[in-house]
Amino acid sequence: MQNSQNLNIFPDSLAGALQTSDIDELTAAQPGRNRRYLQLGKGALSAELSHVKLPAVQLYRERLNVGLHIEAAPSDLRVSFSIPLFVGDGVRFCNGEVTPRALVRATGGEWDIRVDSGIDFISCVFDRNYFEKRGFDVRGRPVDPTWLEIGMSRGCPDALFRFEACVHRVLHNSARKMDATAPEIERQITAQLLELAIVALASSAEDSRLDAAFCRRRAVKRAVEYLQDRPDSLCTIPELCEVAGVSQRTLEYGFRDLLGVTPVRYARLLRLNSVRQALLKSTDPNETVTKVALRYGFTELGRFAVEYRQLFGERPSETLSAR
């Protein structure tokens, strides 16, 4: 069943928290981050998101319990760093393997992350002008340009721990009484977060620029965008290969490598997710599960109902009744 709890609705509030089973609500809570979520794993989604807004920096903690594909197109005006606290099996950032306490740089272009079974991570998103100016003040020289590019780093464990602990402390305290925080204290906290981030970044050795991974991603991304633009269509593999500009073998390999599923399975998951959102948001009193399922190309209704329940943890009729 759809369920959500909100505290200080995002994004304009200083601090807030969200618990939801609705992907669209999770997306709407963070519009400035340009996120798109697609459920890949079976089970009822449980998402928790907490948020703190300070001068020149925003902090997030996001916990997800099922397999998902997350795409993002962050603003060039922001610089974002994340630390995974927990990763389930098969977590890949731009096709690079993610481990707990890695320092993920999510700046400088579009990125995606595939989660097979669940993830818990914190994010620190700085205003770019502030980060570059303050970073120069802290280091005495310009920030390393690789810090402003998508990638992953391994840093000194102590430096990463202190950065992570500071983010945790601010998120925890803000949940109680951040609205009463004096502006000067907020500025001090922001400066401390940036200094700790700089230290963690400076202690890191870049693992990879992910060039090869980006090449593989491009073909898959073209096919995924094509499918997302027409979720109610039954696209063929030759059609997707033409769109992606690669052979069937390359496309199959790319989807398995990046998303853990075949192109056919991804297209079916996309249509199942589209059915769910249509059922949740329908205002037509005469709407039925059968009508929606047929609209998205599901003609074997028995098989559809089984797959839907396996993926989302409830029958489609229960979703419709939860409107």
pLDDT tens sequence across 29-71: 888 889 999 999 999 999 999 999 998 999 999 999 999 999 9
> Residue 289: exposed, middle, or buried by beta-carbon count in 10 A (0-12, 13-18, 19+)?
buried
Q: How far is CA 94 from the centre of its chain?
A: 12
**What is the rounded radius of gyration, in angstroms, for the C-alpha atoms of the chain?**
21
Pairwise CA distance, residues 174 & 171, whole Å: 5
174-181: long-range contacts, CB 8 A cutoff, minimum separation 24: 174/14, 174/15, 174/52, 175/7, 175/15, 175/17, 175/50, 178/14, 178/15, 178/52, 179/14, 179/15
pLDDT, residue 13, reads: 60
Cα–Cα distance, 173 to 170 (Å, whole number): 5
Dihedral sign computed on CA atoms, order 125, 128, 129, 133: positive
**Is 181:73 a contact under the CB 8 Å cutoff?**
no
**What is the Cα–Cα distance from 160 to 154, expressed in whole angstroms?**
9
Q: Using an 8 Å Cβ cutoff, are 83 and 122 in contact?
A: yes
Question: Residues, the chain, total?
Answer: 323
Helices (H), 80-210: 128-139, 157-177, 183-202
Residue 257: count other Cβ atoms within 10 Å of its Cβ: 15
DSSP 144: P
Domain limits, the chain = 4-209, 212-321
Walk along the chain (323 residues) and give the pLDDT tens digit of each residue: 345 455 444 445 688 899 999 999 999 888 888 999 999 999 999 999 999 999 899 999 999 999 999 999 999 999 999 999 988 777 889 888 888 878 999 998 899 999 998 999 999 999 999 999 999 998 888 999 989 999 888 778 888 899 999 998 998 887 665 444 577 888 899 999 999 999 999 887 554 444 456 667 788 989 999 999 998 888 999 999 999 888 888 899 899 988 999 999 999 999 999 999 999 999 898 999 999 999 999 999 999 999 999 999 999 999 998 76
Half-sphere exposure of 211 (CA within 13 A, CB side): 1
pLDDT per residue as tens digits for the range 141-178: 899 998 999 988 877 888 889 999 999 899 888 766 54
What is the pLDDT, as a whole number, of residue 223? 94
Q: What is the pLDDT of residue 10?
A: 46
Parallel/antiparallel/unpaired status of strands 96-97 and 15-20: unpaired
Whole-structure pTM value: 0.79
| Homologous superfamily of 4-209 | Jelly Rolls (2.60.120.10)
Q: Cα separation of 308 and 304, whole Å?
A: 6
Q: What's the pLDDT score for residue 2? A: 45
For residue 256, give both structure tokens. Answer: 């398995």
Q: Helix, strand or coil for residue 296?
A: coil
Q: Which amino acid is at 9?
A: I
The predicted pLDDT at position 61 comes to 95
The SS3 assignment for 107 reads coil
Q: What CATH number does the domain located at 212-321 have?
A: 1.10.10.60
Backbone angles phi, psi at 209, to 5 degrees: -85, -5
Q: What is the pLDDT, as a whole number, of residue 180? A: 45
Residue type, 117: S
3-state secondary structure of 120: strand
DSSP codes of every residue in 218-287: HHHHHHHHHHHT-TTS---HHHHHHHHTS-HHHHHHHHHHHHSS-HHHHHHHHHHHHHHHHHHH---TT-
